A and B are shown apart, each in its own frame.
Chain A
């Protein structure tokens, strides 16, 4: 619909700590309230377990601990964003999710070296909008299964 010069990216905006993050709408399947999560033993700490998402068992990871931010109690605004990457459906626990915005593609800049302590690999870029700074996540890295295995192997040796 939009003109070529004004290409836009529709993103879901969510909060972690004091920062605002964005994931492309294409990768988001739904946003859920927090619900009972069944713990799965012998998995990395950031894997909170699995939930029943309308009949499909869906793994849930806490994005705070995934990014080494201190975990906090779930509140009324805590949400689970169900994202779909490749053949995986995974739920991400975030502090709040309340916005869908269009950002012009030319407002996206490559990520600075370190943002909010998050390893640069996980980032797709940073979007500057008026007074907001939006960090765009690269979910392929956030949900990298090889890394999950490495972490598992590491924890097994400990």
Chain B
């Protein structure tokens, strides 16, 4: 059991790190000299190595170890970032992903990684051999050549050499306090605090005890092991006030052992000015890369199984029902104290509800994250140049939707790259940018989230689709000829239809868009296609924002309560009998200059008539797109946030009802599906 608990954590975290590796490798490819990215990659690989070694997954550990070596080479500029290296690292990441997946599925996580490891080794050595001597350190830091170090004992030396192997920098830092500094010990303490946040202090000269007793002049030195860059260490230390100067020296262990035993000497002071100016230049760069780094969110979050959240939600639902009962009882009893307590409870449970529902919302980024990598691979395979633009990755969706949306999107993206975009040559002849563009865009609108997959390719060839559909027996030639463009595009979602002239590995295996459509519809969404010949194609997925929360207008139809989603409601009105006209046997009203058809919900839903109708009609004006309708109801109850529930799998596809909800009194109210009411 113990191990299992760690295993989940290991798998989750490994996935995070693999994702971060993927992301940063892509960034690195476009910006090969950005040190912050390399460090980030290195960190991920290193953590993976540590975790997998602890868990006993040796193959992962050995592969990440070798990756680390290559990355270290890149970081130290002994290895040049080439497309070949990126490819190899990508394939290492792939192998890692496979192994982690295997572990997740209960496997041993074993895989033959010898080939990749040796490939990595070759890369590491191939180019590094002749540069290794010269290029160890190009950081803008003074490398120790002539100056000396404090003497380290054997233990300290071991720590230093281990740290260096693990990719930590070792800095020998000389800090000089201002002459007029009053509380020297306090400053020292602050400096130590700063340094300890950055890494580990291996040695201080004079020793800490003496420093605390202010038994030193104005200068002291420390040896720090850190992953931070020299600039950032320096700038952070300088933030402590009353510091005159900070001087960093990167310790090269090889030379250190040679110079071991040398007397301690203190650095000359003039060398300060130069590194400081560098710091100011680089500060911005360091900061921005910090902002982007994936580590930013960690530390403040815990992982919770979605089942637990569902459980919480269900329990909470029961609470809400009891709350409703309590409210009713308190009205009947009319005791002031009881009423106050119940009101307070209602407010708190309202807040609680918001928190619970929000906990289930996650940014769609989680899904989008893996696409840049996938698109890159596909583009290479297909020999096309593709630029993927992602917009609105921060858009939030209910967790359950997020989990399901990945596969359909992968399918659509593949489809766009394979079938949507033309080959580079064709694009050139068509006078287009040889680089194809795929846009993945997520945005909120009303109670829905839209995800658009747009390509700027050739567009859908109506005739080709029709021809194919006719050949496959999806539609007859006569009927097909009468189809509008939209109807023809709809055919793409029919099963067994692929428009690519030749089958490829990427898509077009005969199964495809119909699967996408089914999946999306099972999530309560819809897919539409728009296309312009020569301009490109857009697949637009509409999804419910959440599967569980909805703002509705509650209305009474005779004695029954119905909920109308606020996203469809334009406004409510009360009209007199005389304002209702008849056109083609259809009751209509003149609503702000537009003729709006009326639907009497009493008749439409066959509600038993118990309420006499007076001269006034209560009407809810609803819309679908730019079409409108007026729903005649008996009375308005009000606006409310409700929790959407399915009608139960026995009752699927009830006409004009999209679901149900539980009201405060514990009864069930049905939710009107305005989209199917308006034709």
Contact = CB atoms under 8 A, between A and B. Distances in A.
Interface of A: 36, 38-43, 47, 49-52, 54-59, 87-90, 143, 145, 148
Contacts of A56: 314, 645, 648
Given A38-B669, A59-B647, A43 B318 contact: no
Given A57-B646, A57-B660, A42 B654 contact: yes
B662 A55 contact: yes
B442 interface: no
18 contacts: A36-B666, A40-B657, A41-B657, A41-B670, A42-B606, A42-B655, A42-B657, A43-B651, A47-B651, A49-B668, A50-B668, A52-B321, A55-B314, A55-B315, A57-B648, A57-B668, A59-B651, A90-B648
A41 to B, nearest CB: 4
B650 A145 contact: yes
B306 interface: no
Interface of B: 314-315, 317-318, 321, 560, 604-607, 645-652, 654-657, 660, 662, 666-670
A36 B648 CA distance: 17
Nearest to A55: B317
B645 A38 contact: no
A87 B652 CA distance: 13
A23 to B, nearest CB: 16
Contacts of A38: 560, 660, 667-670
Given A49-B668, A59-B650, A88-B648, 4 more contacts: A41-B607, A41-B656, A57-B648, A148-B650
B484 to A, nearest CB: 26
Given A55-B314, A58-B648, A143-B650, A39 B667 contact: no
B318 A54 contact: yes
A50 B662 CA distance: 11
A40 B649 contact: no
Contacts of B647: 40, 50, 57, 59
Contacts of A39: 560, 607
A55 B318 CA distance: 6
A51 B560 CA distance: 14
B605 A41 contact: yes
Nearest to A36: B667
A40 B670 contact: yes
B652 A57 contact: no
A55 B652 CA distance: 19
A40 B654 contact: yes
Contacts of B657: 40-42
A40 B648 CA distance: 12
A145 B652 contact: yes
Given A38-B668, A55-B662, A57-B645, A50 B606 contact: no
Nearest to B646: A57
A88 B650 CA distance: 6
B650 A52 contact: no
Nearest to A143: B650
A135 B57 CA distance: 59
A119 B662 CA distance: 36
Contacts of B605: 41-42
Given A39-B560, A57-B662, A90-B648, A52 B667 contact: yes
A90 B648 CA distance: 8
Nearest to B317: A55
A36 B606 CA distance: 18
B667 A59 contact: no
A42 B656 contact: yes
A30 to B, nearest CB: 15
Given A38-B560, A41-B606, A52 B668 contact: yes
A88 B649 CA distance: 6
A38 B604 CA distance: 16
Nearest to A86: B649
Contacts of A36: 666-667
A43 B648 contact: no
B170 to A, nearest CB: 60
Contacts of A47: 651
List the 10 shortest-distance A-B pairs measured between CB atoms, nearest first.
A41-B605, A55-B317, A38-B668, A57-B645, A59-B648, A59-B650, A57-B660, A88-B650, A59-B651, A52-B662
Contact of B654 (A43, A54, A58): A43
Contacts of B648: 50, 56-59, 88-90
Contacts of A41: 604-607, 654, 656-657, 670
A50 B661 CA distance: 10
B649 A87 contact: yes
- Of B315, B648, B666, B669, the most chain A CB neighbours within 10 A belong to B648
Contacts of B607: 39, 41
A148 B654 CA distance: 11
Contacts of A88: 648-650
A21 B160 CA distance: 81
Contact of A51 (B654, B656, B668, B669): B668
A103 B607 CA distance: 45
Contacts of A55: 314-315, 317-318, 321, 662
A93 to B, nearest CB: 14
B302 to A, nearest CB: 26
A36 B670 CA distance: 14
Contacts of A52: 321, 662, 666-668
Contacts of A54: 318
Contacts of A49: 668
Contacts of B646: 57
A68 to B, nearest CB: 19
- Of A41, A42, A47, A87, the most chain B CB neighbours within 10 A belong to A41
A120 B73 CA distance: 78
Contacts of B660: 38, 50, 57
A36 B666 CA distance: 9
B634 to A, nearest CB: 15
Nearest to B655: A42
A145 B650 CA distance: 7
A104 B560 CA distance: 47
B184 to A, nearest CB: 66
A57 B643 CA distance: 11
Contacts of A143: 650
Nearest to B604: A41
A42 B647 CA distance: 13
